[in-house]
């Protein structure tokens, strides 16, 4: 049963400002059209475009597929200025992008920190593990599937799947170049050239480069942080080997050297027991007496004459009250390199199509930030020598800390499938899949108190820092899948599918904690198998309307709790999902209405928190239910309206655990750990209500042959919780965002000039809250949506 009790589901004041602006733009545009009596350009037809998708591993119109999918063509992506996942989330019902660049769909994503994501990712049909979410350029289409996709997409799709498809070379010589300038010193260039080398061999090159200043001020250094300096290039080759065989190869490079930061704005209301209060947020520093630093100073550092008795390292530490300002000793650095490739070879036999799809990705990352996120006035009693990283040693009386994260990964995937052709009584898709990944990662905390303490105890150099390191991790997953469709009539169809998957995972990890004489090493393994399936029935109630019902299951693999000898692994997550849907078009194809009702029953859902420097996951049962409505309406050639509405209710089952940020439940300073039952609590990143409204108006500009298109987009998202504990400091408030665009295009569509503004009200909208380790006071890291950005973009097509 669906139950929603949102008291905050009201549109805030910025909506009325945006509506007023749109109301002013539209009449002006209307007068221009009436004066010029110029017809609107043909790219805005009254009948809605059909979007072709491969949701079921075959080309089909999105409106004919009995699956809840939000599909965006290249025109739709450009229309809404969707250049990355942060923009994409606004146009998808029940979708949230968390601060770690991972999607949550219908309340399901990656709540297990070190675990796999619950939303699968594919590029050109190949599983490659990860893509930079700012990298959506020169796209053919994007498909976002909602609900578990365990049959055709396989493991780690309990929430849904995101599929992106790059544009393939065509038979026409041409290209385009787009230049963009904006505030925060934004500079972005995007280009493409398409070359038909022969009738059968075609080549396409595309790329972009972007630089901008950061959205956050570091008041200690006087510079902006969280900026971008990145580029990407892509080569696409298409070879036609006769009438029935085709090969497509895509090679891509992404490179970033930015001040992107893992740490965000620190918030804390000092508490003498916990460091930071679990019930209030402020701009204090953690209470020194509740941190490991006071313990270390009293035990060794003060007796050794390094720290003056009674010192408090946080005294006088600045923490600006502006959410977009920090005061850190040094600016963050971020480095990411990725190489990826996809290859598809298909051959059409008379009754079937045989397809091979392969994917490859290799990436490396390195990120360094100020761990305490504070420029501390504290000084040692005398200059001391300590390490800030493996290769940097300083001698100073200043206290400097470093949070360093590194990672390397390589993934390959292979899929061979056979799909029937035609529209007979029985059609099918079946295939084999194999995926393999290898990687390593490290999380290092360099703090002089740790090093000096270990030195005083005579510990070796490899224990002078806190470390959570995966020296090697491998995953090998294989599967057989098959899905068949029974066409009882032109109106009634049944679909049955199944997938059998095997998975072997192993890891070699080590953790270094204080007082350890040597690292703690683990070598756990996982060997698992699973069956997932799908059954659906769809019925066409009219030429342009279809009802469908689905029962599906999904599976997300288990994982490892690095540094936890008691529970070295956590269980896989499974889901059984039920859905009723409607896909329809009305009024001669000018109004598209898609709707869904769903109920998901999760077993062993993976949830985690950070304890003693490690991400420790547990399993709990949960249910999610909700409703979704998507509308697209073109009442005339000039107008295009869109909207989506979603409701979501999530509920944890019985789950007894300890909140690491409040282990004693604030009873007394001597209270031991108190377990709490989270039964009935809401899941993280699951707003109960989400509303998106869009309006676009196109008109001719007098007798110039040019058109003007004005566009308004508004999204409102209800409050939700950052963690499953649902404490007052876990609440992320409701917010809304308004975006405006004005586009001018010549009659041939070869020249476009676009002006835009995003986040019109310049609101500091919070998207995620994470909690640091209790050892350092359990302060909160708060991440924000982008501030108001505006700019001008000029594009030339040739």
Q: What is the pLDDT of residue 114?
A: 56
Distance separating alpha carbons of residues 645 and 594, to the nearest angstrom: 11
Distance between CA atoms of residues 675 and 659, nearest Å: 8
pLDDT at 30: 42
pLDDT band at 34 (very low <50, low <70, confident <90, very high): very low
Retrieve residue 257's tokens.
């050297």
Residue 7 pLDDT more than 60? no
The pLDDT confidence band at residue 21, using thresholds 50, 70 and 90, is very low
Mean pLDDT for the chain?
Answer: 88
| 765 in Cβ contact with 785 (< 8 Å) | yes
Which pLDDT belongs to residue 44? 46
H or E element that contains 77: helix 74-79
What pLDDT is stored for residue 2 in this prediction?
41
Mean per-residue pLDDT for 151-174? 93
Q: Per-residue pLDDT averaged across 31-47, rounded?
A: 46
With CA atoms as reference, report the closest residue to 340 among 235, 239, 188, 205.
235
**How many whole angstroms separate alpha carbon 646 and alpha carbon 53?**
23
Q: DSSP secondary-structure letter at 558? A: -
CA distance 430 to 484: 8
How many residues belong to the chain?
798
pLDDT value, residue 422: 77
The per-residue pLDDT for range 605-651, each reduced to its tens digit, is 888 776 655 566 778 999 999 999 999 999 999 999 999 999 999 99
Question: What secondary structure letter does DSSP report for 21?
Answer: H
Q: What is the pLDDT of residues 456-488, one digit of tens each?
A: 888 887 777 777 788 889 999 999 999 999 999
Structure token pair of residue 629: 């409505």
CB 617 within 8 A of CB 126: no
Q: Are 786 and 747 a contacting pair, CB within 8 Å?
A: no
Per-residue confidence band for 11, with pLDDT thresholds at 50, 70 and 90: very low
Question: Domain spans of the chain?
Answer: 52-402+416-422+431-451+478-583+594-637+658-797
How many CA atoms lie within 13 Å of 194's alpha carbon, on the beta-carbon side? 14
In angstroms, the CA 715 to CA 693 distance is: 6
Name the pLDDT band for 217 (thresholds 50, 70, 90).
very high
pLDDT of residue 741: 97
Residues 766-779: tens digit of each pLDDT: 999 988 888 888 89
Q: What is the DSSP string of 258-288?
A: E---SS-EEEB-EETTTEE-SS---BPPPPG
DSSP H or E stretch at residue 29? helix 14-36
Reduced to 3 DSSP states, what percent helix, strand and coil does the chain have, rounded to the nearest 5? 10, 55, 40
* Burial degree of 325 (CB within 10 A; 0-12, 13-18, 19+): middle
pLDDT (average), residues 139-162: 92
pLDDT digits (tens, 9 = 90+) for 549-590: 999 999 998 888 766 666 778 888 999 999 999 999 999 999
From residue 274, give the alpha-carbon distance in Å to each of 66, 123, 295, 673, 781.
51, 45, 14, 12, 16
Each as own residue / partner, the long-range contacts of residues 376-382 (CB below 8 Å, 24 or more positions apart, any chain) are 376/313, 376/314, 376/317, 376/329, 377/315, 377/316, 377/317, 378/311, 378/312, 378/313, 378/314, 378/315, 378/317, 380/306, 380/307, 380/448, 381/305, 381/306, 381/307, 381/308, 382/305, 382/306
Residue 102 clears pLDDT 90, i.e. is over it: no
Q: Are 420 and 427 in contact (CB under 8 A)?
A: yes
Output the pLDDT for position 565.
60
Alpha helix (H) ranges present in 82-223?
A: 85-88
When pLDDT is cut at 50, 70 and 90, the band that residue 514 belongs to is: low
782-to-278, 280, 325, 737, 764 alpha-carbon distances in Å: 14, 14, 12, 18, 11
Q: Which of 30-44, 420-434, 781-795 has the lowest mean pLDDT?
A: 30-44
d(CA 613, CA 772): 9
Range picked from 72-86, 110-124, 581-595 for highest mean pLDDT: 581-595
What pLDDT is stored for residue 38 in this prediction? Answer: 42
Determine phi and psi for 27, rounding to 5 degrees: -60, -40
At residue 268, does pLDDT exceed 70?
yes
Least confidently predicted of 41-50, 69-78, 270-279, 710-719: 41-50
In whole angstroms, what is the distance from residue 431 CA to residue 273 CA? 58
Q: 71-78: which pairs have CB atoms within 8 A and are 24 or more residues apart?
A: 71/141, 71/142, 71/143, 71/144, 72/141, 72/142, 72/143, 73/49, 73/140, 73/141, 74/139, 74/140, 74/141, 74/167, 75/43, 75/49, 76/51, 77/136, 77/139, 77/141, 77/142
pLDDT at 14: 42
pLDDT score, position 663: 82
> CA-to-CA distance for 604 and 189, rounded, in angstroms?
46
Give the number of other Cβ atoms within 10 Å of residue 522's Cβ. Answer: 18
Arithmetic mean of pLDDT, 653-680: 78
Question: Helices marked H in 197-333 — which ranges?
Answer: 292-296
**Nearest C-alpha neighbor of 549 from the set 523, 528, 521, 578:** 578
pLDDT, tens only, 305-354: 888 888 889 888 999 999 999 999 999 999 999 999 999 999 999 899 99
Residues 279-313 have pLDDT tens digits of 899 999 999 988 888 888 888 889 888 888 888 89
How large is the average pLDDT for residues 681-706? 95
| Residue 311, pLDDT score | 85
Q: Which two tokens stand for residue 422?
A: 């035609």
Residue 453 pLDDT more than 70? yes
Tell me which architecture the domain covering 52-402+416-422+431-451+478-583+594-637+658-797 has in CATH.
Beta Barrel (2.40)
- The larger pLDDT score, comparing residue 112 to residue 595, is at 595
Per-residue pLDDT tens over the stretch 358-402: 999 999 999 999 988 889 899 999 999 999 887 889 999 999 999
How many Å apart are CA 316 and CA 376, to the nearest integer? 7
How far is 534 from 629, CA to CA, in rounded Å? Answer: 23
The C-alpha atoms of residue 778 and residue 274 are separated, in whole angstroms, by: 7
């Amino acid at each position: 049963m669906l139950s929603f009790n949102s008291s905050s589901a009201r549109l805030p004041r910025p909506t009325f400002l945006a509506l007023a602006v749109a109301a002013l733009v539209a009449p002006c545009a209307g007068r221009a059209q009436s004066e010029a009596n110029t017809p609107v350009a043909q790219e805005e037809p009254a009948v809605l475009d059909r979007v072709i998708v491969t949701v079921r591993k075959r080309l089909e119109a999105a409106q004919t597929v009995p699956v809840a999918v939000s599909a965006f063509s290249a025109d739709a992506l450009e229309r809404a200025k969707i250049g990355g996942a942060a923009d994409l989330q606004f146009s998808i019902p029940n979708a949230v992008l968390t601060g770690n660049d991972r999607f949550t769909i219908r309340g399901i994503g990656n709540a297990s920190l070190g675990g796999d994501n619950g939303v699968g990712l594919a590029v050109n049909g190949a599983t490659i593990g990860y893509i930079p979410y700012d990298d959506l350029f020169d796209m053919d289409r994007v498909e976002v599937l909602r609900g578990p996709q365990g049959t055709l997409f396989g493991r780690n799709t309990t929430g849904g799947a995101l599929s992106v498809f790059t544009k393939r070379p065509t038979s026409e010589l041409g290209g385009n170049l787009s230049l963009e300038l904006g505030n925060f010193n934004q500079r972005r260039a995007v280009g493409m050239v398409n070359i038909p080398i022969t009738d059968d061999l075609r080549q396409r090159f595309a790329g972009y480069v972007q630089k901008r200043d950061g959205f956050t001020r570091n008041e200690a250094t006087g510079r902006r942080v969280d900026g971008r300096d990145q580029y990407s290039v892509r080569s696409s080759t298409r070879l036609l080997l006769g009438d029935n065989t085709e090969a497509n190869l895509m090679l891509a490079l992404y490179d970033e050297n930015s001040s992107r930061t893992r740490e965000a704005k620190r918030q804390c209301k000092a508490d003498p027991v916990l460091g930071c209060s679990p019930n209030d947020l402020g701009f204090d520093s953690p209470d020194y007496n509740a941190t490991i630093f006071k313990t270390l100073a009293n035990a060794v550092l003060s007796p050794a004459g390094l720290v003056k008795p009674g010192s408090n390292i946080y005294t006088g530490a600045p923490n600006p009250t502006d959410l977009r300002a920090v005061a850190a000793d040094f600016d963050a650095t971020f480095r990411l390199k990725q190489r990826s490739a996809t290859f598809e070879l298909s051959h059409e036999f008379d009754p079937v199509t045989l397809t091979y799809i392969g994917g490859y990705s290799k990436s490396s990352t390195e990120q360094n930030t100020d761990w305490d996120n504070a420029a501390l006035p504290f000084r040692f009693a005398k200059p001391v020598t300590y390490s800030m990283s493996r290769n940097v040693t300083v001698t100073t009386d200043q206290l400097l800390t470093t949070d360093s994260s590194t990672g390397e990964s390589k993934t390959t995937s292979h899929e061979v499938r056979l799909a029937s052709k035609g529209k007979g009584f029985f059609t099918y898709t079946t295939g084999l899949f194999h995926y393999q990944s290898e990687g390593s990662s490290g999380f290092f905390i360099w703090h002089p108190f740790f090093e000096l303490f270990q030195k005083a105890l005579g510990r070796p150099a490899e224990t002078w820092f806190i470390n959570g390191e995966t020296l090697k991790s491998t995953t090998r997953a294989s599967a057989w899948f098959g899905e068949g469709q029974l066409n009882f009539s032109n109106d009634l169809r049944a679909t049955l599918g199944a997938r059998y998957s095997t998975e072997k995972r192993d890891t070699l990890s080590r953790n270094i904690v204080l007082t350890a004489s040597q690292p703690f090493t683990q070598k756990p393994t996982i060997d698992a198998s699973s069956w997932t399936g799908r059954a659906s029935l769809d019925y066409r109630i009219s030429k342009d309307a279809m009802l469908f019902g689905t029962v599906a299951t999904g599976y997300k693999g288990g994982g490892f709790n690095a540094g936890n000898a008691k529970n070295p692994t956590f269980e896989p997550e499974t889901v059984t999902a039920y859905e009723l849907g409607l896909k329809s078009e009305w009024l001669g194809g000018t109004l598209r209405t898609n709707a869904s009702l769903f109920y998901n029953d999760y077993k062993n859902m993976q949830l985690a928190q950070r304890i003693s420097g490690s991400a420790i996951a547990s399993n709990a049962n949960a249910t999610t239910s909700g409703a979704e409505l998507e509308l697209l309406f073109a009442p005339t050639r000039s107008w295009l309206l869109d909207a989506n509405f979603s409701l979501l209710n999530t509920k944890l089952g019985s789950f007894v655990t300890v909140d690491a940020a409040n282990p004693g439940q604030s009873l007394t300073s001597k209270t031991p750990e108190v377990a709490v039952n989270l039964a009935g609590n809401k899941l993280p990143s699951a707003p109960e209500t989400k509303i998106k409204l869009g309006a676009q108006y196109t008109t001719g500009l007098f007798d110039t042959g040019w058109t003007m298109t004005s566009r308004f987009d508004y999204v409102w998202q209800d409050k939700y919780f950052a963690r499953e504990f649902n404490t007052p400091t876990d609440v992320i408030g409701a917010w809304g965002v308004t975006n405006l665009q004005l586009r001018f295009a010549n009659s041939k569509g070869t020249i476009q000039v676009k002006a835009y503004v995003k986040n019109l009200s310049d609101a500091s909208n919070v998207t995620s809250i994470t909690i640091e380790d209790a050892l350092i006071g359990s302060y909160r890291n708060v991440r924000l949506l982008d501030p108001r950005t505006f700019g001008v973009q000029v594009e030339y097509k040739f």
